[in-house]
Amino acid sequence: MGICENRTVIITGAGGGLGRAYALTFAAEGAQVVVNDIRLDAALAVCEEIRGQGGKALANAGDITNMASAEAIVAAACAEFGEVHVLVNNAGICRDRMFASLTESDWDDVMRVHLKGHFCLANVLARRWRDAAKAGNQIDARIINTSSGAGLQGSIGQSNYAAAKAGIAALTLVQAAELGRYGITANALAPAARTGMTEQVFGEMMKKPGGADFDYFDPANVAPLVVWLGSAESRQVTGRMFEAAGGLISLAEGWHTGAARDKGSRWLPAEVGAAVAELLEEGRPAQKVYGA
């Protein structure tokens, strides 16, 4: 028996790349999988793979950036499988340009798919799970969000994407703090893998190796962590950010209050420079921005 037996998971952007790897691995661990992707043909193909291996899957092409559509996605999942236990927010897009060259649509498109796309389904399900918990039902639900190294450290040429992914990291912290009382955990990961998006930027670095060499950037390498986070085994883990690539799993550390100076009264502008110099000397520098 797999670790996700009889659990239903909705995975967005599951027609290829990381989402497809998650869907196949969840199904192999006994989950019933809703394969959501705007490309219905891609979602259907993944469902056929899952069914060919004896699993259960439902293809769905609903818009994750629209609340009415999100309600319909959840309703379809419940009609097919009875309940939803796990949401994996995976879908995303890139509109990469240097900051001064970004257009309004470049910004809005990325925020809509990443940030609003992380909001709609999670909000629909959070309300459903909260109401069920208040009615006395035992809830053991999971929200798994997708941030990025760009969101944790920044990335040259990706200010819109980095800002959205940083927003997702903060969203995860708040979800975990607010929803834990209802039996809902919220975690996020920053994966590094070969996908349709990353191949546009890191194609040469992430290309598949020849021969029997370990394929470090194979999306399937990230899937075990995501599936474990979606299982009942992870119920004590919430509000965490993981980084995953190849055989590596690491725990990302967020902003903390660091070096400090308290004068005990209002600073004069002329005094601030010396205090900041001391703080910078004592403080831990941020990791380098990707591409810097």
Catalytic site residues?
148, 161, 165
Q: How far is it, in rounded angstroms, from Cα 31 to Cα 264?
A: 57
- Cα 77 vs. chain centroid, distance in angstroms? 20
Residue with tokens 């989950």: 31
Q: How far is it, in rounded angstroms, from Cα 229 to Cα 140?
A: 12
Q: Angle formed by the axes of helices 159-179 and 117-134, to 10°?
A: 0
Whether the CB-CB separation of 26 and 227 falls below 8 Å is answered with yes
The DSSP annotation for the chain comes to --TTTT-EEEEETTTSHHHHHHHHHHHHTT-EEEEE-S-HHHHHHHHHHHHHTT-EEEEE---TTSHHHHHHHHHHHHHHHS---EEE--------B-GGG--HHHHHHHHIIIIIHHHHHHHHHHHHHHHHHHTT----EEEEEE--HHHHH-BTTBHHHHHHHHHHHHHHHHHHHHHGGGTEEEEEEEE----TTHHHHHHHHHPPPSTT---TT-GGGTHHHHHHHTSGGGTT--S-EEEEETTEEEE-------S----SSPPPHHHHHHHHHHHHHHSPPPPPPBT-
